Amino acid sequence: MAGKTLFEKIRDREIPAEIVHQDERCTAFRDISPQAPVHILIVPNKPVPRVGMAGPADEAVLGHLLLTAAEIARAEGIAESGYRLVINNGPDGGEAVPHLHVHLIGGRPLAWPPG
């Protein structure tokens, strides 16, 4: 059996992180290398390696991640000014941790294209 991912260790509080939300389906915490004043990662508690590997059984949790992101954006005070949700998939997509996660980024104007 493979070891826990970094995000599973954060979920289980084996690695310190500033957790801003946790429920039975997901955990959200501040990114240790923020790209904006608000940069929060929202991860499913059940490890899914990447969005491209999610299946029909993951449909409810995928929707929950997005609804949770909107809830956190309101709590962080960035819902009205706007924010970006990013899901990286694979090495060329910028994926660094093999555990699906949503980046909630905001608190400043964001350029497009992202780079």
| 80: DSSP letter | T
CB 4 within 8 A of CB 12: yes
Q: Which residues of the chain have pLDDT under 70?
A: 1-2, 115
Per the residue annotation, which of 39, 99, 101, 103 is the catalytic one? 101
Would you state the pLDDT for residue 113?
Answer: 87
CB 59 within 8 A of CB 83: no
Would you state the pLDDT for residue 77?
Answer: 98
Residue 39 bears catalytic tag: no
Would you kindly state where each structural domain of the chain is located, as residue ranges?
A: 6-106
The 10s digit of each residue's pLDDT in 33-52 is: 999 999 999 999 999 999 99
Closest CA to 40 of 52, 27, 50, 54: 27
Would you state the pLDDT for residue 48?
Answer: 93
pTM summary value: 0.94
Which run of H or E residues covers position 62?
Answer: helix 59-76
**Which superfamily, per CATH, for 6-106?**
HIT-like (3.30.428.10)
Would you state the pLDDT for residue 115?
Answer: 63
Would you state the pLDDT for residue 62?
Answer: 97
